[in-house]
Amino acid sequence: MSCVGRLFGTDGVRGVIGETLTPELALRLGRAIGAYFGPGSRVLVGRDVRAGGEAILGAVAAGLMFEGVKVYKAGLLPTPTLQYSVRRNGFDGGVMVTASHNPPEYNGVKVIAADGVEIPREDERVIEEYYFKGVGGRPASWRALVDDPKLHTTAIEDHVNGIIEQVDAEKIRRKGFKVVVDCANSVGSLETPLLLRRLGVKAITLNCNLDPEFPGRLPEPTVETLQLAAKLVVASGADFGVGHDGDADRAIMITDRGEVLWGDRSGTLLTAFAAEAWPELPRRTYTGVSSSILVEEYLKPRGIEVVWTPVGSVVISRTILREGGAISGFEENGGYMHTPLQTVRDGPMKTALMLYMLAEQGESLSQAASRLPRYYPIKTKLRASREEAECAVNAVKRFYSGLRRVEIDGVKVFGEDFWLLVRPSGTEPVVRIMLEARSPERASEVLEEVKRILKAECGIEG
């Protein structure tokens, strides 16, 4: 189908509640999704704690039902929990209402395929075609709407059980770990503390009450938003800390010394461990171009191939499945895919895998992290329209034309003592800037240089 408009971004359809994400859009989107799955399909739906979630989910579910879809409601739960349940229980698909890491005023819709992974890009185009041109035909007859949506209440318990089967639970219990978990006032609260208790871990919870206004911190787990959690890790003598995003598919780790580890660091350590714990897996991993070059520096000498992909968990998941499997997939934002369980980002699973690694290796997370090559990262974003963001990419290409570049998603530049990535966001009206250098001073110099380029060439203020 040739698409006449765009709805989907990097991961789902997102917008500001009542402004760009309206009940009318949600209902029409629900019908388009229903037409995609087809009459008689069994679709599991759920949501995170965000404002408007029940209204948006209700509108989407209504659209699904009017296309003859059998709807099953899982209630409040993390995204990876719904994904696990879709595949485990043989649903034809799923819909998750969430905006993941976006600010509180946002919400969104993710569409899950029968294999538990977000639908491929080409299928997103099919749904957009239905949305913009109309689904065609008539809504389902009244007889198809006799049954109310069914409740599906075991998803969290099933997911926790599945995770525990992946690790040496007894070895973890014997260690007597203590872990700080910052749940971002959302659905991670319903699962990660439960998982930790089941593994004999003392869970120190922060922001684990459900609140759609996200009073504790913004939903995106970053060095800045996890400062209180980092202080609590040190003050409590915890073994490490975990910071989730709004739908708990991400987990940013905090060392016992209070250092916030970006996901490419923790993902590198976990991949090296998983390669030994699951030797039957293909010795390769997939990660987005936003990850550090330290991934290659650490994993290649250990015989693990690193495959770079465009940014986006859907791209990584689908590439792994298409190319025959991997040890893992991961992102710098904290997403980690433990492929023996499921090929999607899974914050609770990543947390359990970290416990398993530390229990097996008998060292602290700070000791494990000290083995990684040392780079100093800066990650920021500047307000920009799509046109301005594209201008930024081209301006960086021109300025650094003499250096090695990768251009599969924005532009990644490799300098002698730094690397730099500039790319348009797929979920927000911003241009993202990620860079690392061998010293903090050099990292700051590169950032200021990039900001000067973007202001002069594209009018982007930083």
**What are the catalytic residues?**
100
Select from 4, 8, 205 the least CA-distant residue to 108. Answer: 8
- Hey, what are 112's tokens? 């899950």
- Listed in sequence order, the residues at least 6 apart from 193 whose beta carbon sits closer than 8 Å to its beta carbon are 181, 183, 203, 205, 208
Question: Measured between alpha carbons, how far is 232 from 351 in angstroms, rounded to an integer?
Answer: 17
